[in-house]
Amino acid sequence: MSLKRALMATALVSATMLAPGLATAQPVTGLYIGAGAGANWINNPSKFDLSGDTVPGNFGLAPNTTINNAGKANFKAGYGGVVSIGWGFGNGFRAEIEGNYRENEVDSIRGFGLAPVGRTGGFQRTYGAMANVFYDFDFANFGLGQSIFQPYVGVGAGYAWTDWKNIRGNGANGGVLQADDRDGQFAYQGIVGVATPLTWLGVTGLTLTAEYRFLGTLQPELDANIRSPVNNQVIRGGKIEADNYNHSVMLGLRYALFQPPAAPAPMAEAPPPAPAPAPARTYLVFFDWDRADLTTRAREIIGEAAQNSRRVQSTRIEVAGHADRSGTPQYNQRLSQRRADAVAGELVARGIGRNEISVTAFGESRPLVPTADGVREPQNRRVEIVLR
């Protein structure tokens, strides 16, 4: 499986494990622990250098002499894992201590004057401790809103041991390469990853991580020798300085022990409620007894109604005529109609379109002040203007 395919698979697995209702990612606060595991690849081919030791004749070399690229090895895809404990500062930065382990099986060996080398075997194991610093990106800080994903980057430095466990290969010329040694060197790494909270499982602070890690060390110096296949006697021996570059893709879990509850994902903002319709405004125009002509005061009131109808952008103007009970119902019906028509005409004269006005007449059927038949009541001799 190639590194590219592994990265794609990791992204797919992390995406399919998500569930609706996840809280948004947030910076880690306080103490946390973490663990991860996945695939590991050693940079192929891994180059080997031969170095002369202080003993003359080591690998046939003079002391302090090095032959670069004397051999190469390819390794099969292996596995690795990390455990960590750290502290989040609540502002995106984290610091942690990590323990790690990686193992890969030898696939092929070339060089050392033994080509071709067959029947290869053995393992390279790398393990150590690192101090790491991370920064978790918060999309909200870049004006992108909240997200359930939180990318992060990290760097680390520490110490790691390279362990060659029974590495071997048979050369065509009869020599047998053997190495079974361990050496520790300074180690460094870079990390990129993405995290997403798993609060839908009911555990605040639990987070799924998917990440790529590069781990390298200074060249370890490992004892190796070439033996006779007949009597197993050492023909040549000495130190091999080996490259050690690891590429890992890992899925993991991180648990913040005292993480405050995450804010829920923001809901879509509801549209603002429609404004309430403006209340209707009513104007009363009064008339003298048995009259339908407009007084000066009546014209002032009509003018105010016309002006306000434009200001409030009314959609309809209702004009309703009324009369008191001092005449017959039939006469009062006609009188209330003349009064309503007079008011509507004045509104038109003041710039109101006739199509905006509805005119009705109620006669004496809707008195403002109930009276006996035949009573002259000034408040019932009116026209009501309603702006809607």
DSSP summary character for residue 380: G
In words, the CATH class of domain 3-256 is mainly beta
Strands 281-286 and 221-227: unpaired
Q: How far is CA 84 from CA 46, 80, 127, in A?
A: 28, 14, 14
**Tokens 């209707």 sit at which residue?**
280
Task: Kindly state the helix (H) or strand (E) to which residue 3 belongs, with its residue range.
Answer: helix 3-16
Tokens representing 123 are: 């393992």
Q: Which CATH architecture has domain 281-387?
A: 2-Layer Sandwich (3.30)
| DSSP secondary structure of 127-166 | EEEEEEEEEE--GGGGTS---S-EEEEEEEEEEEEEEEEE
CA 139 to chain centre: 6
CB neighbourhood size of 334 (10 A) = 16
pLDDT truncated to tens, each residue of the chain (388 aa)? 454 454 444 444 444 333 444 566 778 889 999 999 999 999 988 888 776 554 444 566 666 666 777 788 899 999 999 999 999 998 889 999 999 999 999 998 888 777 778 888 899 999 999 999 999 998 766 666 667 889 999 999 999 999 999 988 887 777 788 889 999 999 999 999 999 998 777 788 899 999 999 999 999 988 888 887 777 787 777 788 889 999 999 999 999 998 776 555 556 667 777 665 556 688 999 999 999 999 999 999 999 988 888 887 777 889 999 999 998 999 999 999 999 999 999 989 988 888 888 999 999 999 989 988 888 999 999 999 898 8
With 0.95 as the threshold, say if the pTM is over it. Answer: no
| Alpha carbon distance 367, 325 (integer Å) | 9
**Interatomic CA distance for residues 19 and 199, integer angstroms:** 10
pLDDT at 14: 41
pLDDT tens per residue, range 269-295: 677 776 655 566 889 999 999 999 999
- The domain spans of the chain are 3-256, 281-387
Contact, 94 vs 28, CB < 8 A? yes
- E strands, the chain, where? 29-42, 46-51, 66-75, 78-89, 93-111, 117-136, 150-171, 176-197, 206-217, 221-227, 234-242, 245-256, 281-286, 317-321, 357-361, 382-387
Can you tell me whether residue 170 is helix, strand or coil? Answer: strand
Euclidean distance between CA atoms 218 and 243, whole angstroms: 8
Q: Calculate the CA 58 to chain-centre distance.
A: 59
How confident is the model at residue 184, as a pLDDT? 95
Q: What are phi and psi of 14, to 5 degrees?
A: -65, -35
The token pair at 364 is 């004496």
Whose CA is closest to 244, among 171, 160, 300, 325? 160
Look up residue 54 and give its DSSP letter: S
> How much is the pLDDT for 159?
98
Amino acid identity of residue 48, one-letter, is: F
Q: 197 preceded by cis ω (within 30°)?
A: no
Predicted pLDDT at 12:
41
